[in-house]
Structure 1
Amino acid sequence: MSMRNVEIKARVHDFDAICKIAEELSGAPPTVIHQNDTFYNVNTGRLKLRMYADGSATLVRYDRDDEQGPKLSNYDLLDFSVNESDKIKTLDKMMKQCLGVRGKVIKERRLYMVDQTRIHIDKVEDLGSFMELEVVLHPEQTLIDGQAIARDLQDKLRVKDEDLINCAYVDLFDKK
Structure 2
Amino acid sequence: MRHLNVEIKVRVDDLEPFRKRLEAMEAAYTGTDTQRDTYFVVPEGRLKVREGTIEQGIIFYNRPDQAGPKPSQIERTDPGKALAAVHAVLQAALPVDVVVEKTRSIYWVDQVKVHLDELPGLGSFVELEAVDTEGTASESDLHAMCTELMEDLHIPTDALVDRSYSDLVREHNNEA
The alignment's TM-score, normalised by the length of structure 2, stands at 0.89
Contact 2:46 2:61 in 1 (8 A): yes
- Secondary structure at 2:25's aligned position in 1? helix
Q: Secondary structure at the match of 1:165?
A: coil
Q: Superposed, which structure 2 residues align to 1:64-143 within 5 Å?
A: 64-81=63-80, 84=81, 87-137=82-132, 138-143=134-139
1:155 to 133, 136, 151: 151
CA contact (8 A) 2:59 2:76 kept: yes
CA contact (8 A) 2:15 2:126 kept: no
Match of 1:15 in 2: 15
Q: Unpaired segments of 5 or more residues in structure 2?
A: none
Counterpart of 1:44, as a letter, is E
Structure 2 letter corresponding to 1:141: A
Deviation at 1:64, TM superposition (A): 0.6
Per-residue CA deviations over 1:77-98 (Å, capped at 9, x if unaligned) read 11132xx2xx333322221222
Give per-residue Cα distances to partners, 1:54-75, cap 9 Å, x unaligned.
7x83011111111111111111
Which consecutive residues of structure 1, in runs of 5 or more, have no partner in the other structure?
A: none
Q: What is the aligned residue count? A: 171
Q: Is the 8 A contact 1:123 1:129 kept in 2?
A: yes
Counterpart CA distance in 1 for 2:16 and 2:139 is 31
Mapped contact 1:105–1:125 kept (Cα < 8 A): no
- Percent identical residues: 33
Q: Is the 8 A contact 1:23 1:112 kept in 2?
A: no
CA contact (8 A) 2:28 2:109 kept: no
